[in-house]
Amino acid sequence: MTEAHSMERTDLAAYAARSEVSRGRKYEEDFRDDRPAFERDRDRIIHCAAFRRLEYKTQVFVNHEGDYYRTRLTHSLEVAQIGKGIARRLRLNEELTEALALAHDLGHTPFGHTGEEVLNRLMEGAGGFEHNLQSLRIVDELEERYPGFNGLNLSWEVREGIIKHSSRYDNPSAAFAEFLPGTVPTVEAQLINFADEIAYNNHDIDDGLESGYITMSQLKEVALWREVHETIEQKHPGIDRERARCQTISALIGVLITDVVTTTLANLEYHGIKTQEDLRSLNQQVVGFSTEMAKKNRELKRFLMHNLYRHHKVERMRVKAERYLEQLFEVYLKHPTLLPMKHQLKMERDGRERVICDYIAGMTDRFALDEYKRLFEPYERV
C-alpha cells in the first residue's frame, strides 16, 4: 500500500509542506495503512526507543531532583503543543511540525547540554558530537525496528528539519550535502526553532521559580515578564502568588506565539512567498519575532542564563555530570568489553570511539548514574 495524500488537510496554505510533493524516503516500503507521510513519521518517532528515553534525560534539573521539573520528554511535548498552535494559525502542515518537534531532541545526551559539551570534547579527532547530527543518526541508523534497513526511514523533509534545527546551542552548519546545505528548510522546520525557544524560556521560568533558584521579585526586573505579569494582576486583583505565576507563564506563551504568527505572516506577504519553491528561491528565514519582541526575549534569556543556568546548585550538578561522563567514556575506551556485546560488534564498522559515544549519548541520567556506580563502587552489584 502506498502512502495516502487525500487524507491530508485541504486547507493548507500554498507554502505549507505536503506529503504528495515530499522527496520521499531512502527505502521503499509496503505500508499496512494509508496514513500521509508526515503523520506516519510522527507516529514512528513517538514509538521509537530514543523518544521514550527522553523521559529520564535532563532539561535543567536532573531527574532525581524532583518530579515537578521538566525532562527532555515533557519539553518535547511542550514544543509540539506550541509548534502545532503556530502551525495551525499559519495553515502549515501540523503533522510535519509535530514530527519535527518530537524529534528535535532525540540525540540529546544525559545531563543536558553538559553531556553534549563533554562528549564533543572527548570525541575531538574522532568526529566530535553535536546533538542534531546525533538525532539524525538515531533516525537513520541507530533505531533497529524494521526489516531490511536500520533507522526509521523518515521522509526527507523531516530529516532535513532535524539537521537544520538551530538554537543557541546548535551548529546547523554541519548539515550533510544531501540536505541542500546553505538553504533554508520548510516553514514548518523554521518555526520549530521558535517553538523550542518559547517552550524552554517559559518552562525554565516555571521550574526555576518552583526550585527557588529564581524569584518573582527578580523576574520583575525583566520587561517582558513585568508587562505580562502586570496585566494578570490588573485582570485578577488579589490573585494568589501560585496562580499568578501560572497565569503569567500561560499569557507570556500566548504573547510570544501571537508575535511569531503576526511577524511571519508579514514576512511571507512582504517577500511574496506563495509556494515552497518561492521559499527556497528567497533562501531567507521567514519565521521570527518582531524586532521589539526579539529585544525583550533576549533580555529574558540573559536573565535566565545569569540567574538560573549559572546558579551555583546547577553548576554543582554540571561539574558532577562532567566527571561521571568523562570516567565512563575513559573506562569503556580502555576496556571495550565492558560494553554489551551488541555494541562491541559495531566497533569494526563504526570505530570504538563512535560506538562508545552512541552508547553514552543514549543513556538516561538515571542509567548513567547507575552505570557509574556499577563500574566504580566496589560493593555495587554489577
Mean pLDDT (whole number) for 77-93: 97
Question: Which residue, chain included where needed, has cell 554489551?
Answer: 340
**pLDDT in the model for residue 8:** 80
Q: Is the dihedral angle over the CA atoms 177, 73, 25, 95 positive or is it negative?
A: negative
> 52 phi and psi, to 5 degrees?
-65, -35
Mean pLDDT comparison of 59-63, 181-185, 254-258, highest-scoring range: 254-258
Residues in the chain, overall count: 382
**pLDDT in the model for residue 381:** 82
Task: State yes or no: pLDDT of 136 exceeds 80.
Answer: yes
Task: State yes or no: pLDDT of 357 exceeds 60.
Answer: yes
Mean pLDDT (whole number) for 132-158: 96
58: which strand partners?
A: 71
The span from the first CA to the last CA of the chain, in angstroms, equals 48
Range with lowest mean pLDDT among 33-42, 53-62, 70-79, 179-188: 53-62
Range with lowest mean pLDDT among 90-94, 202-206, 265-269, 299-303: 202-206
**Domain spans, the chain:** 19-314
307-327 pLDDT tens trace: 999 999 889 989 999 999 999
Question: Which residue, chain included where needed, has cell 543518526?
Answer: 137
Task: State yes or no: pLDDT of 6 exceeds 70.
Answer: no
Residue 203 CA to residue 74 CA, distance in Å, equals 10
Residue 195 CA to residue 71 CA, distance in Å, equals 16
The CA-atom distances, in angstroms, between 273 and each of 48, 109, 197, 269 are 35, 38, 25, 6
Mean pLDDT (whole number) for 138-147: 96
Residue 175 CA to residue 108 CA, distance in Å, equals 17
Banded model confidence at residue 243, pLDDT cuts 50, 70, 90:
very high
Banded model confidence at residue 170, pLDDT cuts 50, 70, 90:
very low
Closest among 366, 353, 307 to 65, alpha carbons compared:
366
What is the amino acid identity at position 322?
Answer: E
Closest among 109, 96, 116, 98 to 54, alpha carbons compared:
109
More confident residue, 8 or 245: 245
Residue 269 CA to residue 282 CA, distance in Å, equals 13
Residue 33 CA to residue 1 CA, distance in Å, equals 7
**pLDDT in the model for residue 70:** 84
Q: What is the average pLDDT value for the chain, to the nearest integer?
A: 92
Q: How many CB atoms lie within 10 A of CB 326?
A: 14
Query: pTM of the prediction?
Result: 0.93
**pLDDT in the model for residue 65:** 65
Task: State yes or no: pLDDT of 173 exceeds 80.
Answer: no
CATH of domain 19-314: 1.10.3210.10
The grid coordinates of residue 298 equal: 533576549
Q: Kindly give the residue spans of alpha helices, DSSP state H, lying in the chain.
A: 37-47, 49-53, 72-90, 94-103, 112-122, 131-137, 156-163, 187-211, 216-219, 223-235, 241-270, 276-282, 291-304, 312-334, 341-344, 347-350, 352-361, 365-376
Supply the DSSP string of 341-367, one letter for each residue.
Answer: HHHHTTHHHH-HHHHHHHHHHT--HHH
Whether 155 contacts 37, CB under 8 Å: yes
Task: State yes or no: pLDDT of 85 exceeds 90.
Answer: yes
Question: Which residue, chain included where needed, has cell 506550541?
Answer: 82
Task: State yes or no: pLDDT of 174 exceeds 50.
Answer: no
Whether 304 contacts 208, CB under 8 Å: yes
Residue 184 CA to residue 190 CA, distance in Å, equals 8
Whether 77 contacts 131, CB under 8 Å: no
**pLDDT in the model for residue 9:** 81
Q: What is the DSSP letter of 58?
A: B
Range with lowest mean pLDDT among 26-35, 134-143, 193-202, 351-360: 26-35
Residue 237 neighbours by CB under 8 Å, 6+ apart:
none
The grid coordinates of residue 92 equal: 502549515
